[in-house]
Amino acid sequence: MSVTAQIGTGIAAQDAAITVENVSHSFVSRDGAIVQTLDNVSLDIRRGELLCLIGPSGCGKSTLLNIIGGLLQAGSGQVKVNGRPITGPSPRELSFVFQDNTLFPWNTILDNVKVALEFQGVPENERQGRAEEALEAVGLTEFRNHYPHQLSGGMKQRASLARALSLKTDIVLMDEPFAALDEQTRIYLGEELSILLAKSNKTIILVTHSLAEAVFLADRIVVMTARPASIKAIIDVKEDHPREPAFMASGRFADYRNELYGFLRAEIEKTVGGFVGSAAARDRTRRGISESAGDAP
Amino acid sequence: MNSMSSGWQARAIQIGFVAALFLLWDFAGERKLINAILLPAPRAVFWKFIALAQTSALYTHLLVTLMELVLGFLIAAAAGLSLGYFIGRSRYGTIVFEPLLAGVFAVPIVIFLPIFLLFFGIGPSSKIAFGATYAFFPIVLNTIGGISQVDDRYVRVARAMGADDVQMFRRVLLPAALPVIVTGLRIGCIIGFLSIIGSEMIAGIDGLGSQIVRLGEAMNTAEMFAYILFVIFFAILLNTGLSHLQARFAIPGDGR
């Protein structure tokens, strides 16, 4: 089993695309209480790897992603991208794929990509070509003049992916990009993403709550604790990209997923509370974790 | 029943209702059930209308009212859009000013008409100022609403992709808020028209409203009705044009 639970991964600084150094974050809630979301998180993200952040819902993994992307200010600590501290959005280095409905409904799919290129500062005469190229890469060429509401959820997320890819950044941050989709579509898009990214050599951080998605896509999986989030474990998934659908049916896949769930389970219990110690929970435990791992493909 | 045929049915009933009203009116006139001075027969009104359309008086009055409407609306739009934008951009500004403006709009501003007459005189200036004041409120309120309610996700994604302030306005805030803002412009235009006609009727020299009151006082009801008919046609035309404008700025897939 390939658990490397060391926290500071200790790789040479020039190999790290992103370094997260002692980042903590908290916010003041509506009733005035200070809620800490991140507790002293340190992490190196290697150039060209796909890193998954997984943890109980609401634990702060999206917060960490937003701090890495410069959309949120860290309370303390800092994030460096290519060696330089991040102080705000850095659209030439980082692009985003958000959960859902971030395509502008008043623009066609093609215009959505073109407007992203305009925001990034790409000269006008290059936008059309690059937008069409990106839509081609995700197989949406024939839908380029459709409006977002005319596309299925899966197509919309592919369009969001095309928008991010068109920006040609070395780093792509994905915040639960498939969370709003049904399971079949999610698995299918995961396979497509694996193929697409295998040739791109991009550095990807993917926030997900799907165990299967994490194991199928990631080079490394970072398991986060319940709020305030810190890093509980890092799992190496030693499989080559692109990964075949057959990998999902393999024993190795099940082992990784069970190992992952083993780390997560205690954290989920902390979040969900209540049922722990109940008859139902004991019964569930007796039946074994692989069955309750839930989102098996 | 599908929506298409129910739409047709509704339209047929609407037309039938108006036709029935005209028939009833015509019948009452023919049978001399109502004194022709109080309510002239539709045919008499129609011929008066045709005759009127060939004189310059109608166009003189129309031009006055139209000029008042256009200027009043432009002033209201310029003030409402710019103030609404700056208030709507600030969360605090919205919390402070939105209820204040909505509150003032709930007051029947017509009670201040004498002030307008004192400040701007009995001529077109007071009508422009009064119409602009009334039209201002729906425009500013809808602009605040449109700008302040732009989905945060769009703003966030645009910022992440490097949008500057001008791009944020042109590519995100404006297109997102436009349907609500255009609705405000439409309501502002219709209320502006109403208040201009109304203020002409209360105290005015020229314009369609003044003319209607003057003809009524002179018991020239056939001609008065011809003017009324003309104002109705103009209002329908205005509303149709504004509806098309509104449809043009709707976000695709909205309101299905």
> In this predicted model, what pLDDT tens digit does every residue of A216-273 receive, in sequence order?
888 999 998 888 888 888 989 888 878 888 888 888 889 899 888 888 888 877 777 6
A294 or A267, which is more confident: A267
A66, A96, A106, A146: which to substitute to probe chain B, counting the most B Cβ within 10 Å?
A106
Q: How far apart are CA A147 and CA A14, in angstroms?
A: 42
Q: Which amino acid does the sequence have at A265?
A: R
Nearest-neighbour CA in chain B from A119: distance (Å): 4
A45 or A281, which is more confident: A45
Let me know: does A200 contact A49? Beta carbons within 8 Å.
no
The answer to whether residue A102 neighbours chain B at the CB level (below 8 Å) is: yes
Residue of A71, A101, A107 with shortest CB distance to B160: A71
pLDDT tens-digit series, residues A45-94: 988 889 999 988 777 888 899 999 898 888 888 998 988 888 888 888 99
Nearest-neighbour CA in chain B from A166: distance (Å): 11
Q: Which CATH class is domain A1-93+172-263?
A: alpha beta
Question: What does residue B130 show for φ and ψ, rounded to 5 degrees?
Answer: -65, -45
Question: What mean pLDDT is predicted for residues A200-209?
Answer: 88
The answer to whether residue B159 neighbours chain A at the CB level (below 8 Å) is: yes
What average pLDDT does chain A have? Answer: 82
Residue of B160, B171, B252 with shortest CB distance to A69: B160
The answer to whether residue B158 neighbours chain A at the CB level (below 8 Å) is: yes
Model pLDDT, residue B124 = 92
Cβ within 8 Å, pair A71-B156? yes
Model pLDDT, residue B32 = 78
Model pLDDT, residue A284 = 55
Model pLDDT, residue B125 = 93
First-last CA distance in chain A:
22
ipTM for the predicted complex comes to: 0.78
The answer to whether residue B245 neighbours chain A at the CB level (below 8 Å) is: no
CA distances from A121 to A114, B94, B110, B143, B154 (A): 11, 32, 51, 29, 18
pLDDT < 50 regions, chain B: 1, 256
Nearest-neighbour CA in chain B from A4: distance (Å): 33
Q: Pairing relation of β-strands A220-224 and A50-54? A: parallel
Model pLDDT, residue B142 = 95
Cβ neighbours of B151 in A, within 8 Å: 101
The answer to whether residue A179 neighbours chain B at the CB level (below 8 Å) is: no
The answer to whether residue A73 neighbours chain B at the CB level (below 8 Å) is: no
Question: What does residue B230 show for φ and ψ, rounded to 5 degrees?
Answer: -65, -40
Question: What mean pLDDT is predicted for residues A272-295?
Answer: 52
Model pLDDT, residue B210 = 93
Name which of A4-18, A193-207, B43-57, B168-182 the model is least confident about. Answer: A4-18
pLDDT for A171 beyond 80 = yes
Residue A286's pLDDT band (boundaries 50, 70, 90)? low
Model pLDDT, residue A283 = 57
Q: Among residues of chain A, what percentage have pLDDT more than 90? A: 23
pLDDT for A33 beyond 90 = no
Helix (H, G, I), strand (E, B) or coil at A33: coil
Nearest-neighbour CA in chain B from A283: distance (Å): 42
Residue A104's pLDDT band (boundaries 50, 70, 90)? very high
Question: What mean pLDDT is predicted for residues A92-119?
Answer: 91
Cβ within 8 Å, pair B161-A120? yes
Model pLDDT, residue A4 = 43
Q: Among residues of chain A, what percentage have pLDDT more than 70? A: 87
Residue A147's pLDDT band (boundaries 50, 70, 90)? very high
Residue A289's pLDDT band (boundaries 50, 70, 90)? very low
Name the CATH topology of B41-248. Answer: MetI-like fold (1.10.3720)
Model pLDDT, residue A296 = 39
Cβ within 8 Å, pair B161-A104? no
Model pLDDT, residue A291 = 42
Range(s) for CATH 3.40.50.300 in chain A? Answer: 1-93+172-263
Residues 6 or more apart from A198 whose CB is under 8 A from it? A241, A242
DSSP string, A92-149: TTEEEE-SS--S-TTS-HHHHHHHHHHHHT--HHHHHHHHHHHHHHTT-GGGTTS-GG
Cβ neighbours of A148 in B, within 8 Å: 253
Cβ within 8 Å, pair B159-A71? yes
Model pLDDT, residue A272 = 74
Model pLDDT, residue A292 = 41
Model pLDDT, residue B2 = 53
Is this structure's pTM higher than 0.90? no
Question: What does residue A97 show for φ and ψ, rounded to 5 degrees?
Answer: -125, 115
> Which pair of structure tokens corresponds to residue B199?
């203020």
Cβ neighbours of A95 in B, within 8 Å: 160-161
Model pLDDT, residue A295 = 42
Cβ within 8 Å, pair A102-B252? no
Q: Is A253 exposed, middle or buried (0-12, 13-18, 19+ CB in 10 A)?
A: buried
